[in-house]
Amino acid sequence: MTQRSAAFYYVLLPVLFLGAVLVGLTLWVILANQKMPPLSVEPASTTPAEVVYQSGKGRLKGRIVRKDGSPNTEAVFLSYDAERRTGENQSVSMGSMARCTDEFDAEVPSGKTWILVSGDAIAQTSIGPLENHAGGVISDLTIVVDDGEPLDLVLRAPNGDPVAGADVEILLKVVENGKFGTSQTATEQGEGRYRFPHVSDATYFITVEAPGFAPFKTELEHAGARGEHEFFLEPTPSTTGQVLAFDGTPVGGAQFILNCSTGNCGQVIGQADGNGHFDLNQLDPAETYEGHIEGPDGDRMTFVELTAGQTGLKYQMPRRRTLRGIIRGDLSQLRQSFSMEERKHYPSVIVVQRYKVRPEERGGYYLSFRPAVEITDDVGHFELPGIFADDVEVRIGPYSLKLDPDVATAEGDILLGYDLDSNQSKVTIVDGESTP
């Protein structure tokens, strides 16, 4: 083995080390003076990937408990809101889910889902969003309910006088999803006070309609902690006139129904008395209203540019036209509708009318009807009075047909004969009842 001298360790090695350091410093200075391209670092995305749901239903199971963890013993109603994206398509489903006390087990259309719990003796509450996939099961859900707190809304005119006879409703605001579910109606207490006995410490949508005042809408945060809240309503002038039939006789009970141009689809803003006279005293002076007028016997016509304060208006209905149908063949293919009053299902067809309030506008607004089909001797019969649009579609079981616009706008009633076995139809214009 070669032996190193002391000079090697104490003189030569330190010199070599110092030289290496000097060379490194020189190279660093040279490189630092050159323009180096900046490093590009892509920030991590904070937006979660959107979940895609397949069509179908998922199963939601769980329990309902009180704040202390004990099972709920009062009857409650569950409803759902499911938002589903399948590829480029998006749909929203809402509906009733179950009536129960302490446990629930129901199938719900797939999608990002919220569950709302309502009851006579509890404050509304909700859970969600849930990733509810078709064919999947979520079985460990727990919903906590309680009595909540009473909320009193005090309504006053600008001069401070209490407002009586108002319709006051609240609807729970669900996080991320806005409002859905069952609205609650206040009980009038007198002196302009309206009470909701069970309200949670959450945000609610409030709507107020009172004779002589403009509609009032607002949001109220932490409603359960308010106890009492006061609102002042703005007076509005009356809009008056009369609705007449085609022959000049009054149409008593005619309703003014809004279309979707103001986001109030189907809202009734007033009704004529027995002599056809109307007094619309709850219109917003800042709004222009349009929609259709509907009489109790099916008379229909459109209205447009209706505003607060108009007087002496006259609306004369066109001659009422009725669609009569006779259906033969396999009647088991007919759709089934449910009657809340009779608590039973009944066979029906669907008649959709698309109408325009201005002839020059594109698109239009839809009215959908489900006339009952009465079956006698294996033949179905239905009637729908009030055909007033030139775009009319009739859905009979799995089939659908559109009436020719010339037929839809002609004088006289429309008689439709349809055979479910052959998918054949016959349409004729008649002055009275006839047989196809």
Q: DSSP code of 6?
A: H
Residue 78's nearest CA partner among 57, 56, 101 is: 101
Mind listing the pLDDT tens digit for each residue in 121-130? 899 999 999 9
Of the listed ranges 172-176, 202-206, 295-299, 304-308, the one predicted with least confidence? 172-176
* pLDDT bucket at 341, cuts 50 / 70 / 90: confident
Partners of residue 323 on adjacent β-strands? 384, 414
Is pTM beyond 0.85? Reply is no
Q: Do domains 57-145 and 239-316 have the same CATH topology?
A: yes
Question: What's the order of all strands across the beta sheet hosting 255-258?
Answer: 268-271, 255-258, 289-294, 300-306
pLDDT at residue 176 in the model = 67
Domain residue ranges of the chain, discontinuous segments joined by +: 57-145, 149-232, 239-316, 322-430
* pLDDT bucket at 94, cuts 50 / 70 / 90: confident
Mean pLDDT of 116-144: 93
pLDDT at residue 116 in the model = 93
Share of the chain above pLDDT 90, in %: 66
Mean pLDDT of 183-207: 93
Mean pLDDT of 98-126: 93
- Specify the CATH architecture of the domain 239-316: Sandwich (2.60)
Using a 10 angstrom Cβ sphere, with 0-12 exposed, 13-18 middle and 19 or more buried, the burial of residue 53 is: buried
pLDDT at residue 39 in the model = 43
**Domain 149-232 in CATH 2.60.120.1440:** no
pLDDT at residue 227 in the model = 83
Q: How many CB atoms lie within 10 A of CB 395?
A: 16
Share of the chain above pLDDT 70, in %: 85
Mean pLDDT of 321-338: 93
- Give the integer Cα–Cα distance in Å for 370 and 384: 9
- Give the integer Cα–Cα distance in Å for 292 and 356: 10
Mean pLDDT of 325-345: 87
Fold of 57-145: Immunoglobulin-like (2.60.40)
- Computed over every residue of the chain, the mean pLDDT equals 86
Answer with the residue of higher pLDDT: 13 or 304. Answer: 304
Partners of residue 316 on adjacent β-strands? 244
